[in-house]
Amino acid sequence: MLANMRTDAQDGSAWSDLNRPPLRVGPLRRALTDGEHPAWRALDVVAQTQSSNADVMARARAGEAAGYVLVADQQTAGRGRLGRAWTTPPRAALAVSVLLRPTAPMQRWAWLGQLAGLAVVDALTRTCGVPARLKWPNDVLVPDGGDPDAPYRKVCGILAEAAPPVVVVGVGINVSQSEAELPVPTATSLLLAGGATLDRDSVTRAYLRAMATRYAAWEAVAGDPRASGLGAAYREACLTIGVSVRVLVTGSPDLLGQAEGVDDEGRLLVRTPDGVDHALAAGDVVHVR
């Protein structure tokens, strides 16, 4: 057993699973915050936190500048959309939160969660070789075994929280969890999806570079989803468009219909069987087979 143990210089704790090493803060900083054109201003890695979003929001309230990134090896009380909990085994997943101070008009901030979802799709497709897609608004799905014809399950959840002038965007990506370690049958991991790499440092770099690129393009045109190309790219990646859906809206009856598209405000356009069109800014979508 001693041969399989090493001390993590980052936090002083011991870890014994060689398939789940801790993240390496030095290489991540050199790749993402150094150089003439860094993707991000500053980056920290912690072994464990309750919620990376809460930590970054606290730093924002204390005056932290835009471009700060916090990455956690383990999150014990993470929060998803609609108040759902998100917890993971140590070093089996990624919890990454970024601090943004957008200059784009606030009415376009709703796109930031979808922008992050698209950045995750970019990273998982290019780096892990899995055909990642999106379920509105920003759940990232991958097919079982990486087969595009297989059922898609959730590999990543995203929570964007605004406290003007700040937005904190957090992503949680399941990397090496087994079936037994996943919380619900509709979840999956890069391991189960047949990802070409399970190296969390590589996935972190790929996501944060994609996020920085897409955010810069969005900011450069004041958040315009057409001029930035965000709207078109999102629609292309969205599995929800064109399928029958049931939308759960808090305080209202479930809405059943056909998802016809996503408009320039990021709202889901649903046509019910009576021919009435609905533009939904929030809701929990179930794809009806």
Helix (H/G/I), strand (E/B), else coil: 262:
strand
Q: State the Cα angle at 73 between 68 and 75, rounded to 5°.
A: 90
Least confident of 98-102, 184-188, 195-199: 184-188
108: alpha, beta or left, given left = phi > 0 and alpha = psi -120 to 50? alpha
Top pLDDT among 145 and 237 is at: 237
pLDDT value at residue 4: 32
pLDDT value at residue 77: 77
Strands 42-46 and 68-72: parallel
pLDDT in tens, 14-71: 556 778 999 999 999 999 999 999 999 999 999 999 999 999 999 999 999 999 999 9
Residue whose C-alpha is closest to residue 44's, from 68, 11, 27: 68
> Long-range pairs for 270-273 at CB < 8 Å and ≥24 separation?
270/245
pLDDT in tens, 232-287: 999 999 999 999 999 998 888 999 999 999 999 999 999 999 999 999 999 999 99
Question: Position of tokens 């801790």?
Answer: 22
Q: Please, are residues 203 and 127 in contact by the beta-carbon 8 Å criterion?
A: yes
Span 2-236 CATH architecture: 2-Layer Sandwich (3.30)
Averaged over 216-231, what is the pLDDT? 98
Q: Could you tell me what percent of the chain has a pLDDT over 90?
A: 84
Strand order in the sheet with 68-72: 42-46, 68-72, 93-100, 166-174, 152-163, 139-143, 133-135
The topology (CATH level 3) of 241-287 is SH3 type barrels. (2.30.30)
Q: Indicate if the alpha-carbon torsion angle 250, 254, 255, 261 is positive or negative.
A: positive
The answer to pTM > 0.85 is yes
pLDDT value at residue 6: 32
pLDDT in tens, 80-92: 555 566 677 899 9
Token couple for 266: 């990021």
Name the amino acid, one letter, at 174: N
Averaged over 212-216, what is the pLDDT? 98
For CATH 2.30.30.100, the residue range(s) in the chain are 241-287
What is the C-alpha separation between 196 and 81, in angstroms, rounded?
A: 29
Residue whose C-alpha is closest to residue 164's, from 103, 80, 83, 79: 103
DSSP letter at 216?
H
For CATH 3.30.930.10, the residue range(s) in the chain are 2-236
